Amino acid sequence: MWPDFPLVPEAASSVAREVDLLTLAWIAISAFFTVLIAVLILVFFIHFRRRRAGEIGSTADVRTLPLELTWSLIPLVIALGMFGWGVKVFFLVTEAPPDAVEYWVTGKQWMWKVQHPSGVREINTLHVPVGQAVKMTMTSEDVIHSFYVPAFRVKRDVLPGRYSSVWFRPTRTGRYHLFCAEYCGAEHSLMGGWVEVLSPGDYERWLATGTTGPTMLASGAELFRRLACDTCHLPGADPGTAPARAPSLDGLFGAQVALAGGRTVLADETYIRESIVNPQAKVVAGWQPIMPTFRGQVTEEQLAALVAYVKGLGGATPASAAGEGGAEAGEPPRAEETRRGGPGEVVSGEEPVTE
């Protein structure tokens, strides 16, 4: 509103205007009824005050049904209208469009670790192209964090042991603050960074300035082989068919899985992760609970790579998927983190770099 004293953060995403309009509408409605009620209280206080000692109110039979219906139905209509508008904005903010490109984020005390679809990794900085829908699939290594970019009007809790997601489509180039909005420990205030929104050409040039590692899919495929998962999860496996000892993972993601005991569960990212670290929690109907746990044997980022690999199995075998992104057979997943604060700047290591 004022150049040096903005009342709201800059709006830099496709959903920011809708969120702002809904917020301003609620503020306006709340302010209107606050003033109306305050004025009516003042008027009634003056008009119906006791003017002499012993005066009592009228006992006349006053029919107030029309008045009562008016002050009940009008707020009801307003509340239902705002509820419908809020639901519309909620689904707009939470449902990523089909063209969204998936990035993987791991929160850790006290940094944000990001992996691009191409394999580039960053810490506390995220580079994205303007106009491209970006979906952030997120988890935490330790405690609850919260991914918050005020300029994009997006905020989502990042929880240990499960996955959450948020999406945005930046509408203008620039540099925007990234925060952790959940108190996560002694250095919570330092857990922040920047989202750098570049033009498509600048983004491609930025990607070309550093070494690109294996993609999430390629890393997951290599881990899948190295952990010998492919010796049990065979393509097209059915219960009782040798040598398969576990169900096929082809086309698993997004499907309803029948469990022992008659229940069903949606095979989303959290279900796949749980099946790796706690395979006895939800046993698939028709199969024996013989899978060992990999808890403590793989890091949170390696778990994310395995989840990404299973998500990408649309009938593909581990061998065919491993070559995507240029990963060589037998190449281990990258252990290091790479943070890039801008073109030409590459910093490796696990420690956050203060902007």
**Per-position pLDDT tens, the chain of length 355:** 556 667 778 889 999 999 999 999 999 999 999 999 999 999 988 888 888 877 777 766 767 788 888 889 999 999 999 999 999 999 999 899 988 999 999 999 989 999 888 888 889 999 999 999 999 999 998 899 999 999 999 999 999 988 999 999 999 999 999 999 999 899 899 998 999 999 999 998 888 886 667 888 888 888 898 988 888 888 776 766 667 788 888 888 888 888 888 889 898 888 999 999 888 888 898 888 888 888 888 888 888 889 988 888 853 333 333 333 333 333 333 333 333 333 333 333 333 333 3
Question: Which residues neighbour 280 within 8 Å (Cβ) at sequence distance 6 or greater?
Answer: 289, 291, 293
Phi and psi angles of residue 149, each rounded to the nearest 5 degrees, phi first = -125, 100
Q: Measure Cα distances from 342 to 124, 257, 338 in Å.
A: 12, 44, 12
User: Using CA atoms, how far apart are residues 223 and 300, in angstroms rounded to an integer?
Assistant: 13
3-class DSSP state for residue 168? strand
Task: Supply the pLDDT for residue 4.
Answer: 66
Phi and psi angles of residue 68, each rounded to the nearest 5 degrees, phi first = -65, -40
User: Using CA atoms, how far apart are residues 259 and 36, in angstroms rounded to an integer?
Assistant: 57
Q: Measure Cα distances from 120 to 15, 211, 250, 355 in Å.
A: 27, 7, 27, 19
How many CB atoms neighbour CB 205 within 10 A? Answer: 12
β strands within 87-226, DSSP E = 101-108, 111-115, 121-123, 125-129, 134-140, 145-149, 154-158, 164-168, 174-180, 192-198
Q: Of 125, 122, 173, give the one whose Cα is nearest residue 151.
A: 173
**Structural contact between residues 195 and 126, judged by C-beta atoms closer than 8 angstroms:** yes
Q: Measure Cα distances from 34 to 31, 47, 74, 172, 325 in Å.
A: 5, 20, 15, 37, 59
How many CB atoms neighbour CB 79 within 10 A? Answer: 11
**Structural contact between residues 176 and 149, judged by C-beta atoms closer than 8 angstroms:** yes
pTM for this predicted structure: 0.73
Q: Which alpha helices (H) appear in 208-299, and where do they start and end?
A: 216-226, 269-277
Q: Of 338, 341, 311, give the one whose Cα is nearest residue 324.
A: 311
**Structural contact between residues 293 and 278, judged by C-beta atoms closer than 8 angstroms:** yes
User: Using CA atoms, how far apart are residues 278 and 236, in angstroms rounded to an integer?
Assistant: 23
Radius of gyration of the chain (CA): 28
Task: Supply the pLDDT for residue 244.
Answer: 72
Task: Supply the pLDDT for residue 322.
Answer: 33
CATH numbers and ranges of domains, the chain: 101-213+336-348 (2.60.40.420), 216-326 (1.10.760.10)
- Bridge-partner residues for 180, per DSSP? 147
Task: Supply the pLDDT for residue 220.
Answer: 87
User: Using CA atoms, how far apart are residues 41 and 30, in angstroms rounded to an integer?
Assistant: 16
